[in-house]
Structure 1
């Protein structure tokens, strides 16, 4: 009985030790993750948009192959493998990789800072039908036998950099080998070139820092930029209000003595229902942006209030040739009803603005409704207290305005006043100088060594 118990204890101990050993191997595998930079380019392909990659982003092997490498549609692959390569090598030794940098700029290229086990391509691609040729250091390129068709994988093992006492010289040698091999092989086929390393040349500082960089990268990608209050944008239109708009309702004629203000409401920008990119039309000749304001309340001076649960403003722009114009604002006072108003500029026409330039005006712009009620002789006005707007922005690299076409001309009232005062001072100065030049002096003067000068006067006896 005692012997059986001892055998059971020994068996349990072996099982526990085996589990601990397996867990240790798994943890070692996690710690052994190696991330190296990867450069990919193809000089026979036009530069095309690829997903942006943050410097803090880590990419596993499957994602690299299926998402990033697949974007190049590689027919033949030229894989350069260095014994050790890190981000610091590429950033601190840009001069040593001058040929690689030039080749990447000439075609479709991609830089991935951190890819897990990128050199595994040399073992994985043959299973996908690629014919493999390996070039060791010292083997001439002329000995390669490429298949007549595509799907060739040429693995070029670059000279060792870890045994070279000069890191700078070792990287420069690797750059020379890369450009030399490409010049001899690249003319035979269309190759997608990949440059990576077996392991990082700078030691990894641990899994904790790796997870921290992953967290920071994720937070940076998810963070949304903050724009000032009053700025709205759609796919093709940007608009910014310096101050709140004002909606007025009048009765009577346009003359100051006959029209009467019934109510006025400021459309507070804090009530804007912005949720990132807004909707609107984006055609070649017509573009618009839709602004929505919630809980807008109008006070009509009779102590009664009208709650406009939502106010929709559709700003419309027209594009003709190389110029654009601000045409009108279609306003829905009560969503779901037919109570709509169209506003057009009253005193100033915002027309003839050059394409790829914004329109800016710090003065008030009054827009008047075109559907006056004939019975009550009433109408609306929409006052923009300073605005900057611009259509046709769909190709802009960043959400910001271009150079401003200001509504204020050169000869404003203050400038004209200054010019008038300056002209008046110049007239006074000119008259003074003319009077000074007209003063006549005597042509003879007294000499103390001679008799005094006598000037005869009329009427002397």
Structure 2
């Protein structure tokens, strides 16, 4: 955290991020700055390695927003870590190689800024909700390409949320450069319209997670607690209530990634579990459950819906009812892409279904309806996917039926190898037990042993 006025060194906040938290790359950094003419109060500088908790961040936020413009622009990236600044930020003065040129220019022009090098992960997961509580206004998830006059306010409070994707591997540098261009575009529009603003740049979760994450703010429980969605979950599942007010459909996933044609992967999970997705069109009854997730804008489409259709059927062979995920649909700008359940997406009706990966690409569980369907243009990949459409009694998943069978290929290889080793050992012991010593020996110094032959 840092405050400076009239500084000509735009890279100072980024340098502080690097040197004050070199060993905590598992947390998420946050940078907050204002338009010219506004000054945030001065906060005590945290010690190196300090992780800002939820209560401490709320205290900072409450004090900062009292002195800054109430028009807040929240640039919320899917993932963000210190490593993104150290590797691509040009923090050692090489401005030509920096992918954050617009961000650095904005920090240099600002007279006041707040830098939190290490923000606890659950705090960033609920970042939108925290700003909504402090400002008392709902968040407006905005496409930067369609920023209109109606979304810009010069006096009233507003909270504009700009979602920024993130890519790993070779595409990460170019993705961060594009995100920085989006930041520059939005700030230039606000400046051109004369709208004072408070800007925040952070991430939903870290892009690099260390193994020794402090347990002071992450509750952990043994066993398969994730499959039952206990309090250790970072984000609550999506829940649809019936007309009686009881839960009838629940969905949880670590990622809900979609890809259209040659575009980059886009993760819907941050937009699904932050409370902004609507469930209009969803239905549930004793035999059919249909969960409809409505998104305002995805991959340039004005309307986008992700639909899960489930059915409960009686299987005579097993003499019990089973829940089957029949299909997953994508409804975008009036077009439909339908993926059918290729294999294995079913569970006993009173259980939930869980799978580490539900994908349409490698070892697919989802396949396009037909070869000429729009689904051939799309790719889906869900990780840590869990869904239940029947048998719910409260806001907790029932016992999870996992898509991975007990006898996996690795287990079979281990069993066969162990059996071969046991056979070799048994054969060796058998040969040893068959060895017999001679009951008479030939003395080379004495007469030879003669064996009489009987006629």
The TM-score by the shorter chain falls in which range? 0.3 to 0.5
TM-score w.r.t. length of structure 2: 0.39
- TM-score, scaled to structure 1: 0.39
Q: Whose RCO is larger (CA < 8 A, sep 6+)?
A: 2
Q: Which has the larger radius of gyration?
A: 1
